[in-house]
Amino acid sequence: MVVYIVQRILAAIPVMAFVALFVFLLLRLTPGDPAAIIAGDTATPAQLEAIRDSLGLNDPLLVQFFSWIGDLLRGDFGTSILSGKPVLNLIADRMEPTISLALTTIILSVLIAVPLGVIAAWKQGTLIDRFVMLLSVLGFSVPVFVIGYLMISLFSMQLGWFPVQGFKPIGDGVGPFLHRIALPTVTLTLLYIALIARITRTSMLEILGDDYVRTARAKGLPERKVLMRHALRNCSVPIITVIGIGFALIISGVVVTESVFNLPGLGRLTVDAVLSRDYPVIQAVILLASLIYVVINLLIDIAYVLLDPRIRYT
């Protein structure tokens, strides 16, 4: 297992290198000039060139690339072209809202969706099953921003129970933190409940017809144990996969939810950087997103081993 993990980590290096090269080249080929954005309307061509020089944008591409890679290897992600702030600081400032939203969403989604999916499979064809499926369809179909606006309209504007927008770090108090993260979490959770409940139900239905489940019932085990101990555990692999990928998706940025609830997360940082051609920031967030996916995939693979003794890596 350790060997497998080390091999996966080593395999991630060429993946990250490819991503770095790809994003670097893609940005340089995209129209738009960060120097023109900084210089403003009245800059002369000479002034524009001076700004480009000062930003290193006139250096040969290879020089720019290796300079950036060299800085990366020293842990220096560069500075934002527009604000002059270290990119690492910009990303660090956005991590807490993003991770907070991801964790609260996934935890709440799993707590609700897995039991719902199990019940739906157990009671297949009944009203409960149909209700869970309806919820699932709605969760997929209704755009997140619509759900968000409805939540704000009801719980913030009408009832006044929650604030309309904003984020409070957990360092300012657990209460204020929860108060502000509640609505965005519930908004995003509906989508993930739909996803996780559906995959849980589908996986459970495949398992519930197997011989060992019939045997467990025949031996007189309580139905709860049959479902949770025998069936659910054996169909957890696809569920874990979906949970892991869902978590990675939220971490890499849910810009619509962040915009609706004014959460200063990675999604908005990425969009703002792309629209303003802030190359160092774009490069860093894309690399970070790639790294997150690599790590999450590795954790998912490790989880497989823990959940399913039939899976072994050599």
Q: Which residues are at the interface with another protein (CB under 8 A)?
A: 31-33, 36-45, 47-48, 50-51, 54, 80, 82-85, 90, 93, 149, 152, 156-157, 159-166, 168, 172-173, 175-176, 178-180, 258-262, 264, 268-269, 271-272, 275-277
Decide whether 194 or 269 has the Cβ nearer to another protein. 269
Decide whether 65 or 149 has the Cβ nearer to another protein. 149
Decide whether 32 or 238 has the Cβ nearer to another protein. 32
- What's the closest the beta carbon of residue 87 comes to another protein, in angstroms? 11
Which is nearest to 216 in space by CA: 233, 195, 196, 203?
233
What backbone torsions phi and psi does residue 165 show, to the nearest 5 degrees?
-155, 175
Contacts of residue 132, defined as CB under 8 A and 6 or more positions apart, other chains included, come to: 116, 117, 119, 120, 197, 201
Q: Residue 32 in contact with residue 275, Cβ under 8 Å?
A: no
Give the C-alpha distances (Å, rounded to integers) separating 231 from 114, 200, 302. 12, 11, 20
Decide whether 40 or 222 has the Cβ nearer to another protein. 40
- What's the closest the beta carbon of residue 145 comes to another protein, in angstroms? 8
- What's the closest the beta carbon of residue 81 comes to another protein, in angstroms? 9
DSSP bridge partners of 68: none
Contacts of residue 256, defined as CB under 8 A and 6 or more positions apart, other chains included, come to: 143, 144, 145, 148, 267
- What's the closest the beta carbon of residue 124 comes to another protein, in angstroms? 33
Q: Residue 88 in contact with residue 291, Cβ under 8 Å?
A: no
Decide whether 201 or 277 has the Cβ nearer to another protein. 277
- What's the closest the beta carbon of residue 106 comes to another protein, in angstroms? 22
Which is nearest to 215 in space by CA: 203, 207, 308, 206?
207
- What's the closest the beta carbon of residue 82 comes to another protein, in angstroms? 4
Q: What distance in Å separates the CA atoms of residue 22 and residue 6, rounded to the nearest whole number?
A: 25
Which is nearest to 224 in space by CA: 214, 215, 232?
232
- What's the closest the beta carbon of residue 146 comes to another protein, in angstroms? 11
CA end-to-end span of the chain: 7
Decide whether 85 or 225 has the Cβ nearer to another protein. 85
Decide whether 124 or 259 has the Cβ nearer to another protein. 259
